[in-house]
A = this chain, B = another copy of it.
Amino acid sequence: MNALGKHLLLELKGCDKEVLDDLSFLRDALLAAASECGATILGESFHRFSPQGVSGVVIIAESHLFIHTWPEYGYAAADIFTCGDSVQPERAAQVLTRKLSSKNHSMVEMRRGILDTE
């Protein structure tokens, strides 16, 4: 059953709280995750919220990665959406999980765009 896109939804709990509030660190982490899975980076947008929390997205030729963090809970939601066979989104998931020092994480894999075509 072919799908156009693979979408990994990461729940990252028990993360390092300081890291979750550090825009620069998170930007580097998301860009590293994109690079290590073989993606071509096209653009990015990051925002830090008051009093805490960061949202960021990296647009790649193969779709996108995003992260939203709640430092007060040690929690981050991260998604890796890719299309094509040239990238390995699982590697990006491993990079993010490791960099955020998540002690309790889970992942859901969704197939997007399952069509009635070969």
The chain A residues found within 8 Å of chain B, CB to CB, are 4-5, 7, 9, 11, 13, 42-45, 47, 49, 55, 57, 59, 61, 63-64, 66, 68, 70, 73, 75, 77, 79, 81, 83, 108, 110, 112-113, 115, 117
Is B77 touching A5 in the complex (CB atoms < 8 A)?
A: yes
Main secondary structure of the interface of A (DSSP, over half): strand
Contacting residues, chain B, for A68 (C-beta < 8 A): 5, 63-64, 81, 83
Copy number in this complex? 2
Contacting residues, chain B, for A83 (C-beta < 8 A): 68
A74 CB, nearest partner CB in chain B, Å:
9
Is B73 touching A64 in the complex (CB atoms < 8 A)?
A: no
Is B45 touching A43 in the complex (CB atoms < 8 A)?
A: yes
Is A110 touching B113 in the complex (CB atoms < 8 A)?
A: no
Is A49 touching B66 in the complex (CB atoms < 8 A)?
A: no
Taking A9-B7, A9-B110, A11-B112 as contacts, is the C-beta distance between A45 and B73 under 8 angstroms? no
